[in-house]
Chains A and B, each alone.
Chain A
Amino acid sequence: MLFLGLTAFAILRLRALFAVVMLSSVYSLVSAALLVHLDAVDVAFTEAAVGAGISTVLMLATLALTTRHEKEPTHTSLLPLVVVFLTGIALVYGTLDMPRFGDPSAPIHHHVAPKYINDTGSEIGMPNIVTAILASYRGFDTLGEVTVIFTAGIGVLLLIGAFIREPDGNTIQTMEHHLVLRLVTKLLIGPILLFALYVQFHGDYGPGGGFQAGVIFAAAFIIYALVFGLETARRVVPGRVIRIMLAAGVLLYGGVGVISLFFGQNYLNYSVLGSTAVAGQHLGILLVEFGVGMTVAAVMVSTYYVFSGQIPPISDEEW
């Protein structure tokens, strides 16, 4: 935790934005480690992939498109300090009546949580309780989450321009002439994609699931685009396909819910999808997680395409 504090402080004071972005990536990674220690393995996985991965890629792309240094602060920031201090004090005040850290008799561990822990085995039939809650018990929240990421994807397309138009030849220079990079990338892409599929479908049994899988899947394409050039990547997976995947994931998720309606049950009740309730839950969760993975992968790749499509060619010497 102290390390996190130091990192945050360094980010505050540093004015070289490249270092700031790297440190923020470190921050996410250390947080992920801390999360594992706190038994939140799925969350750690996601935080590592998203915070240390995608977030960093996007920030670096932004830096390449903007500046690399922050200006010297010209005025003292007393008001923000006061506001932040007061907020912090309020929060600390609030902790005084909280149950102590790790206390098993805290209210949070009774009421709703035990039901999930006890009934997941019989009602849903899968070991990963987090996936069971995410995809079934609170599945509607996850549909909202997919919609959020879909919104971001659409938003980036709207803001930085539809990449569906043909690039005008101004793209970042490829790194194909670096032998090591080229070779390693080719070796890595296969395993990365396989791992993504593994995470997607094994999410019921261990940490993983649609979201993490989508991010890893996208990472493979981003590496390919980084090394072999945006043009080549776009030929492999054209913008049109990405756009279709973007929408199809959400439709898959929402569609599964609609099917439940046709069976006369409430929205997103998976029990009707199979011969037994548990089989139905399995199928339902499989489908919706796949929908999540598809949309997430599409959003990540399309966002990367859009950002990097804007970056002017930078030769090796300029780095």
Chain B
Amino acid sequence: MNWNDVLGLFNYWMVIILMMMGLYIVVSRGNLVKKIVGLNIFQTSVFLLYISMGKVSGGTAPILTGKPEVFSNPLPHVLILTAIVVGIATTALGLALVVRIKQSYDTIEEDEIQKADEEMEFGKPSGDSKP
């Protein structure tokens, strides 16, 4: 591992740190909306990882111009476009669920929801609990 290696890998390490911050937000915070924001950050950082993999030094965007050129790899771009769509789809559904949970429980903090559920469970058998 010499200095060149470190420089070459530095980009990936930064992205990994970003990914971990996103993941940390998801698992450690109890607010449901914030969890989704964390999930978004996690996913966006994964996108950056993929795209960084595809970059070629001295290359340019993969659009043919008629002149011979060095291009960066187009395949990661395609994969990430799809992944972005999947991400927004997940976010939309997640947020819809948060809205419903708020309507049902009147809170979007995980621990308060858990408490509400436990109070309900140790009282009557599950199966017919109306808010």
Known contacts A38-B52, A101-B12; is-contact A87 B37 (Cβ 8 Å): no
- Which residues of chain A (140-168) have a CB below 8 Å from chain B? 141-142, 144-145, 148-149, 151-152, 155-156, 159-160
Contact B61 A62 (CB under 8 A): no
Most buried by A among B1, B18, B99: B99
- Assembly CA distance A17 to B24 (angstroms): 17
Query: A67-75, A170-178, A227-235, A243-251: which lies at the B interface?
Result: A67-75
Question: Which one, A1, A24, A43, contacts B11 given CB within 8 A?
Answer: A1
Residue A130 at the chain B interface, CB threshold 8 Å:
yes
Indicate which residue in B9, B27, B79, B99 contacts A95 across the interface (CB closer than 8 Å): B9
- Does A268 sit within 8 A of B, measured CB to CB? no
The answer, among A2, A59, A88, A129, for a CB contact under 8 Å with B95, is: A59
| B91 lies within 8 A of A55 (CB) | yes
A133:B20 contact, CB within 8 angstroms: no
Whether B51 lies near A40 (C-beta < 8 A) is yes
Chain A residues contacting B93 (CB-CB under 8 Å) are 152, 155-156, 159
Is A83 positioned at the interface, with any CB of B under 8 Å from its CB?
Answer: yes
Q: Is the CB of A27 within 8 A of B44?
A: yes
Main secondary structure of the interface of A (DSSP, over half): helix
B25 and A46 within 8 A (CB):
no
Separation of A108 and B60 alpha carbons in the complex (Å): 16
A42-B16 in contact given A11-B37, A104-B56 (Cβ < 8 Å): no
Identify A113's interface contact among B8, B13, B73, B111, CB under 8 A. Answer: B73
Determine whether the beta carbon of A92 is less than 8 Å from that of B13. yes
Contacts known (A71-B109, A152-B92, A155-B96); A20 close to B78, Cβ less than 8 A: no
Interface centre among B59, B64, B80 (most CB of A within 10 A): B64
A103 within 8 A of B: yes
Q: Which residue of B lies closest to A157 (CB)?
A: B96
A128 at the interface (CB under 8 A from B): yes
Whether the Cβ atoms of B65 and A127 lie closer than 8 Å is: yes
- Distance (whole angstroms) from the CB of A304 to the closest CB of chain B: 10
Q: In the complex, A39 Cα to B97 Cα: how many Å?
A: 36
Contact A108:B54 (CB < 8 A) given known A20-B34, A155-B93: yes
Chain A interface residue count, Cβ-Cβ cutoff 8 angstroms: 96
Instruction: Tell me, rounded to whole Å, the shortest Cβ–Cβ distance linking B131 to chain A.
Output: 15
Q: Which of A58, A66, A117: most chain B Cβ within 10 A?
A: A66
* Interface members, chain A 117-137 (any B CB < 8 Å): 117, 120-121, 126-130, 133-134
Contact string, B98-131, partner A, CB cutoff 8 A, digits 1/0?
1110100001110110000000000000000000
**Per DSSP, are chain B's interface residues mostly helix, strand or loop, or mixed?**
helix
**Distance, CA A5 to CA B4, complexed state (A):** 23
Is A169 part of the contact surface with B, judged by Cβ < 8 Å?
no
CB distance from B27 to the nearest CB of A (A): 4
Write out the residue numbers on chain B whose beta carbons fall within 8 Å of the beta carbon of A121: 64
Interface residue A183 (Cβ < 8 Å from any Cβ of B) = no
Stretch at the interface among A28-36, A184-192, A253-261, A273-281: A28-36
* Chain A interface residues (CB < 8 Å from chain B): 1-2, 4-5, 8-9, 11-12, 17, 20-21, 24, 27-28, 31, 34-35, 38-43, 46-47, 50-51, 54-55, 58-59, 61-63, 65-67, 70-71, 73-74, 77, 80-81, 83-85, 87-88, 91-92, 95-96, 98, 100-104, 106, 108-109, 112-113, 116-117, 120-121, 126-130, 133-134, 138, 141-142, 144-145, 148-149, 151-152, 155-156, 159-160, 205-207, 211, 303, 306-307, 310
Write 5 A-B pairs (CB below 8 A) sorted by A numbering: A31-B48, A67-B108, A113-B73, A155-B93, A159-B97
| Pairs A-B, 4 closest by C-beta atoms | A100-B8, A102-B57, A152-B89, A77-B28
- In the complex, besides A17-B33, A148-B89, 12 extra interface pairs with C-beta distance below 8 angstroms are A4-B18, A39-B59, A40-B77, A50-B87, A63-B33, A66-B99, A102-B56, A103-B8, A103-B56, A104-B56, A116-B74, A129-B74
